[in-house]
Every structure is written in structure tokens, then in C-alpha cells.
Structure 1
Amino acid sequence: MKMRSIELIVSILSATTVAAWTHTSEDEFRRGISGHNHALAAFIEPSTAPSQALESEWIAATETEKSILMSIDCASAASLCREFGVISYPAIRFFDGHGKMTPYRGPRRASSMLSFVKRAARPSVTILNNEKIQAFQSSDDYVVVAQISPQDAHIKAAYNTLASQYQDQLSFGSAETASATTVSCFNNRDSQQFTVSDLTTIDALPNLIESCLTPVVGEFTRANEMKYLQSGKSLVFYLAPSPADRDVYVDAMRSVAKMYKEYLEFVTVDTDEYGDLAAPLGLAPGRFPALSVQNPMFGQVFPYPRQKKVTAELVGGFLMDIVQGKVQPWEGTVGADEGGSPHDEL
């Protein structure tokens, strides 16, 4: 399959402009979360980079579900944000109209947030029959289907508890079976399936969920940076300020990431939040998008040549050249990956 370059696709996506935040007043917010209304609220602080990064995705989401999405400017409504326990920004919460509030912990993407709204508005576990299972398992990015024997009431109870905890990230379904109990999780975003039938240990179900939710190409954040750095694997960093750019990269690189997942972790980096990561990776600050490979165990960095297009084939070849010793580690001069670099022959 012929790959188009990341740069071309991003240039098309970047041509689209969006409007600015339209914030909800305190009175409008209180009316919006009462009276049996469903509402998704983003509590933001306009001066913070993460809140600024959310803006375009939130506005895109409002074009589909304008009636139930609200944003609150915590710089001007600080007491309201404190009342709802907001301590970092942005904080996204679902209100069910009956006083229950559910935090959203998933990707800050319009499609992901809208999927969360649908999940939060229905029961934590959807009861299925054999005819409905196949359609249900492809109904969301992440879907868990349990086929539970009537003899395993304790597993059913544990499954229902887990569904309540993770309803903001996955859709859960359950069907009765005359066979042995099995639980499967479908990561439809990365076309992966995980199944467990040995449910004798307490960690079996949580481990299944963790494996299923782990993306083939992840996002490097403050919350998970130590997990990635301590994974024992080399890291392939893709740095870009545009969410659209990073999404296109993920789609293009998924096949390569699957091929090398035993040895490498592929991650995207939001340069609005992690711009200072460029220099330690041998990249020129402010020159994005850019890619670099880091081996934390040996302290080695391999910047990807700027003059090369970022495609699955070329990045895969670059990784193979590193393995074969054809690319030397960066020696500490920022920008050495540009014109006249020792990588030009690759």
C-alpha cells in the first residue's frame, strides 16, 4: 500500500480553522446539570497549555452535541470550580441529571469524548444475547464482552464492579453461557483482541483491561512518563503541536508499532506541553513535527533526519538501520540531524 506523507495530510487538516471557546455562566451551568439533563462539562483555565490544546477538540465536539456540552472558565468562576473539586485543568466531568458526577479520563479528542457521553448515559453493563454480541463488540473503540456461566456468580459480581470503575473508557456487555466463562476485550482502534478464561486470580480482569487500553502508539504525558521511561524498551518519540498531526501519525505508524512492540514503545508528544523535550532528543527546538529514538538504558539518542518524510516504510527502515549499527548515536549537537548530517547516506 502506497503511503502518503504525514506533512501533506497535516497541511490539509491545518487549513481548517475553528471558533474560540464560548463559556457557560454559573447559572446556565447549574440549570444544565439539573432537571434530569445529561451534560458534559469542561472546566478549563485559559492560560494553561493543556486547556488551550483541548479547545479545538472541544469545539469540534460541540458541533455534534452542542446541547449537552458546556465549558467553564475557572479563571473567572474559581469558586464554582472549587465546589466541584477541580484541582487541575482541564477537568472533564459527566453529570447525569440526578446528582451523579463521573470524571472523564480518556483521550481529549472529540470522538473519544462523544463516545464517553454515550457510555455514561446508559447502564454500566449492557445485557446481550448471542445475536447481539458481534454487533456490540464493534460498537465502540474499546469493548469488553463477558460470557458468564450461571455457576460463576462471583465473577459476574466482580465484572459488574469493574464495569462501574471503567465505564468512562470502555463499553461493557454481558451474556449468559452454558460453556466456561470467558471475558474478551476488543481494542477496535488498534484491531486487537484480548481474552482471558482463567479468572481464578484477583488481577485477571484488571490486567485484561490494562492490556486492552494500552495503545499501540501511546501519548507521552506527565501521568505516564515514568511508566514509559522505566519500561526497559527504547522509545520512538514523535513531537508535534497539532492533535490532527499526531492522529495522522498514529494511523500511519500503527503497523510498524505492532511489528516492533516487543522491543519499542511508540509515543506521540504534544510540544505545547513538552517542547523542552526536543533538545535532549537531539532535535532543534521549535522545528516540529520531528521524530527521534531514545534508548534510556544506554542513554543513546537517534534523531530522525529532518529531510526525510515520515512514513511507515521510511521510519521502519530507519529503525532497522539503528539495529544493524548503520546509524550512530547523536553526540550532543542540537540540529545534527539536518543538512550535512552523518545520516544523509541512510
Structure 2
Amino acid sequence: MRALSLWPLLVGHGFAWKHVSEEVLRAALKDNEYTLVAFVLPETEASKELEPEWTEVQKRSKDESIFSLDCLANPDVCQEFDVASYPAIRLYHRDGEMTRYRGERKADLMLSFSKRARKQAPLEADASIVPSLLDDDEIIFLAHIAPGDEAYRDQFKALATKYRDSYTFIVTGPMNGQSALHCFNNINEEEHTTEPLAKIGGLEAFIKRCSGPLIPELTRANEAEYTQARKSLLHFFFSSKSERDKCRAAFKPLAKKYAEFLVFVLNDVNEYPEMLGILGLKDGSETGLSLQNPNTGDVFPFRGSRKITPQVVEQFLNDVIDGNVKAMDNKSKGGHDEL
């Protein structure tokens, strides 16, 4: 491809970025079937954080149609491409279609996005090959469509178009003669199924429920969703993202075990310093654990000095259930039937 022959024209602008010139970018967009582009302002903190992840994407990709453009050096080009915030990551199709990447800026996730966005959405598949496709993405939605059920097909197609940058969508024949929708969440190692015909809006709700993280991170945007739920919340506090990621991996089995009535949530103490005191933990702490029942207002802070491990946490939960740990406001008496 012509774009690859222009690699000698690469120009660098600070850090380890290897930005392309405007000429290289335009040639790639014209000649390549797909081109993944990061528009960056190299001096900004967000672009600095993206650089090692983007380098990893380029290193691990099976093609070379992955570029970055310095918008400080090429402001007119970035304005022409309607780049309003930085960094902006987009996949361009040769036919002019463009798909925006809105996920976390991690190499694994960006590579998955690039692979996913190149697929037909939804992908029509014969039942015989469906099993070979179910491990091809983190989250996969499989629709069984009965003959003549065009309304259900149209609903699913609309959702596939809307969420194609985030999940894989597959259509196959009916299941036991009926339409149905399955979700395979390979991150959580879970499978979900709707009723044969979901009510209006039901498919969208199902997608949200199935794709949600097993151990979410509490943010200003989603806190109401979890604090207003009927389940109790087990709050983990950490000051670094790496520690929160380790916690999510270590506690996945325990979170699945208690998922029916308890949600494990991660808290950034830098984002929520006031939550420490509210949940009975020492102000200024970098780590902590506390159980909250939003329905009753009861709060059970973990007072132990041991390292917070799955074994320690499960014992703490059992102690709460058995009444060995009292709520912070001392309203609880005896044992607790619910967390």
C-alpha cells in the first residue's frame, strides 16, 4: 500500500511519539481499508499517559495502518477533522465511515476496539460456526431471530450499530423456533439470556446489565446508580489505579459469590476523600474497607489491621452477618439476615 511506502516521512515531536506528517495521514486514509489515528497534543498530561499504550498498540498490531498526529504542529488538519478534545482516537474506513473510540486508553482495549470496529455489525453467522466466535471478544451479544420476526431483528440491528465500538453482535437462526438474545461476558465469565421477546427498551437494559463490570469503580457519574440500588455496597479504597486493578482481579470470585445481594465497588481516595469519614474510616487513609447498606443507613467499617485479602474480606462479611461487627451508628442488634 502507498501509505506504508511513506514511513520515512515520519516526524517526531517529543517523548517517544513518532507522529506522521499530514501527507502520510492523508495517503493512509485514501489507500488503507482501515486507519486507526490518535490526534494528540504532546505536552498535555493525557497525551503523555497515552504514549506508552499507543506505542504498545503499534507494536502488537498485525498491520501498520496505525498513526498519531501532532495537533500542535498541525492545528489546521485537526480542525478540519473536527477534533475538539485531546487525545482523540478514531478508526477511519476507506469508504468515509468513522468510528470514535470512547473507552479507557489501554492497549488491550484499543486493539480490541480496532478489531471489533472492522467487523460487520451485526455479523450474520450460521449456527455451526457460532461456537467458534464466542471467545472472539470480551463481550458478545448473540441474537437468535425467528423467521418473520423483523421487529426483533430491527431492534437488534439498531443496537449493534449504536454499540459496535464496544461489543460484538452476532445474528443466527432461532432457538427452539423462537427469538432470544444471549450475552457472553468473557471478562466476568458469565452468560445471560433474555426472555424470547423483550419489551420495548428491554434489549437496551439487557445490554447495560450484561456488559456492566463485576466490580465497578464508583464515579460522580455512576454513584447514584449504585447508592440507590437495593443491594449493599462493599467499598474498597485505594489511592492508585494499579492497586484498584489488582483488587478487581483478586476479588472477582468473591464478588461473583455474593453478587445476588452485594456489590463490590472500588473507590479512588483522591476522588472521594470525604467518603472515608462517612464510611467510618480514618481521614487521609490510602486504603480501607467498609460495608454500607444504603437501605438502612447501616455502615460497618473494617477495623482489622490485616492485609485486605479475599479470605479476610469473607471473614469480615461473615462476622457482620453473625452480629460480631456492629454498625457504626450502633442501631444493629444481634445477627443480620442481610448484608
**Aligning the two structures, in what range does the TM-score lie when normalised by the shorter sequence?**
0.7 to 0.9
Question: 1:204: which partner in 2?
Answer: 202
Question: Are residue 24 (structure 1) and residue 19 (structure 2) matched?
Answer: yes
Question: 2:325: which partner in 1?
Answer: 327
Question: Are residue 264 (structure 1) and residue 259 (structure 2) matched?
Answer: no
Question: 2:94: which partner in 1?
Answer: 97
Q: Cα offset for 1:29?
A: 4.6
Question: 1:118: which partner in 2?
Answer: 115
Which one-letter code corresponds to 1:308 in the other structure?
Answer: R
Question: 1:61: which partner in 2?
Answer: 57
Question: 1:15: which partner in 2?
Answer: none
RMSD: 3.4
Match among 171, 176, 179 for residue 174 of structure 1? 171
Question: Are residue 159 (structure 1) and residue 161 (structure 2) matched?
Answer: no
Q: Cα offset for 1:120?
A: 0.3
Match among 141, 146, 156 for residue 144 of structure 1? 141
What is the CA–CA distance in structure 1 between the aligned matches of 2:150 and 2:194, rounded to whole Å? 17
What is the CA–CA distance in structure 2 between the aligned matches of 1:244 and 1:204, rounded to whole Å? 36
Which one-letter code corresponds to 1:135 in the other structure?
Answer: S
Instruction: Give the number of equivalent residue pairs.
Output: 311
Assess if the C-alpha contact under 8 Å between 1:290 and 1:306 holds in 2.
no
Query: Equivalent residue of 1:217, what SS?
Result: coil
Gaps of 5+ in 1: 1-18, 332-346
Question: 2:332: which partner in 1?
Answer: none
What is the CA–CA distance in structure 1 between the aligned matches of 2:321 and 2:46, rounded to whole Å? 36
Q: Cα offset for 1:261?
A: 2.0
Question: Are residue 134 (structure 1) and residue 131 (structure 2) matched?
Answer: yes
Q: Cα offset for 1:213?
A: 0.6
Q: Percent identity?
A: 32
Match among 243, 253, 272 for residue 251 of structure 2? 253
Q: Cα offset for 1:225?
A: 2.6
Gaps of 5+ in 2: 1-13, 330-339
Q: Cα offset for 1:194?
A: 1.2
Query: Equivalent residue of 2:129, what SS?
Result: helix
Question: Are residue 40 (structure 1) and residue 36 (structure 2) matched?
Answer: yes
Which one-letter code corresponds to 1:211 in the other structure?
Answer: R
- Greater relative contact order (Cα < 8 A, sep 6+): 1
Which one-letter code corresponds to 1:24 in the other structure?
Answer: H
Which one-letter code corresponds to 2:308 in the other structure?
Answer: V
Assess if the C-alpha contact under 8 Å between 1:119 and 1:167 holds in 2.
yes
TM-score by length of 2: 0.76
Alpha-carbon distance change, 326 to 131 in structure 1, aligned in 2, over 3 angstroms: same
